[in-house]
Structure 1
Amino acid sequence: MNIYLKDDTVDSPCIGICSTLFDDVCRGCGRTILEVSNWVAMDATEKKKVWERITAEGTAMRFKDSI
C-alpha cells in the first residue's frame, strides 16, 4: 500500500466513511478522534506511525474487501 503522494507527503487514510462523532476510533479509517483532528498538523513520521498502527490492526473498513 503506497501511503505517499507525489510530493512525498503522507496520504490521509480517510475513505470518506466517518464515524468519529460517537466512536473513539473511526470505523472507516481506523484513526482515533485525536489522530483525525490533528492529521494536518502531524509531520510525516507521525503520520507513518498512524498508518503502521491502523494497517497492523486491519480492522477499519478501508482494509476490508467490500465497503
Structure 2
Amino acid sequence: MKASDPTPLPPDLPQSPCVGICSACFDDVCRGCGRTLTEISNWLFMSDAERQVIWRRVLAQGWQPRQNGRRA
C-alpha cells in the first residue's frame, strides 16, 4: 500500500452504517449512523468508492455497528 492510500476498512462492515435509530431533528446528520440525510437517501445509488469515503468518516467519528441486534 502506498503512503497516499487511505486506511483500509475493516472487512466485516455491514452493508450500511444504519443502526435503525434514525434521528436528525436538529441538523442534517443522523444521530444513529452519522450520515447526512443526502448520504442516506443516495446510499443505494453510490459507488463503492463513494461509500468508502463515508465509511471512513463515520468510523473516524466513533460510529459503532450493531451486534446481535443491538448497538455495540
TM-score (norm 1): 0.70
Matches of 2:23 and 2:47, distance apart in 1: 24
From 45, 50, 53, give the equivalent of 2:49: 45
Asked which structure has the greater CA Rg, the reply is 2
Q: How far 1:3 moved relative to its partner? A: 2.1
From 47, 56, 60, give the equivalent of 2:60: 56
Q: Which residue of 2 aligns with 1:15?
A: 19
Decide which structure has greater helix share.
Answer: 1
Q: Deviations over 1:10-50 (max 9, x none)?
A: x1110000013x23110000001110010000011111110
Matches of 2:40 and 2:23, distance apart in 1: 11
SS at match of 2:31: coil
TM-score (norm 2): 0.66
**Residues matched between the structures, number:** 56
Q: Can you give the 5+ residue segments of structure 1 that lack an aligned partner in the other structure?
A: 5-10
Q: Can you give the 5+ residue segments of structure 2 that lack an aligned partner in the other structure?
A: 1-9
The CA RMSD measured in Å over matched residues stands at 2.0
- Write the letter of the residue equivalent to 2:38: L
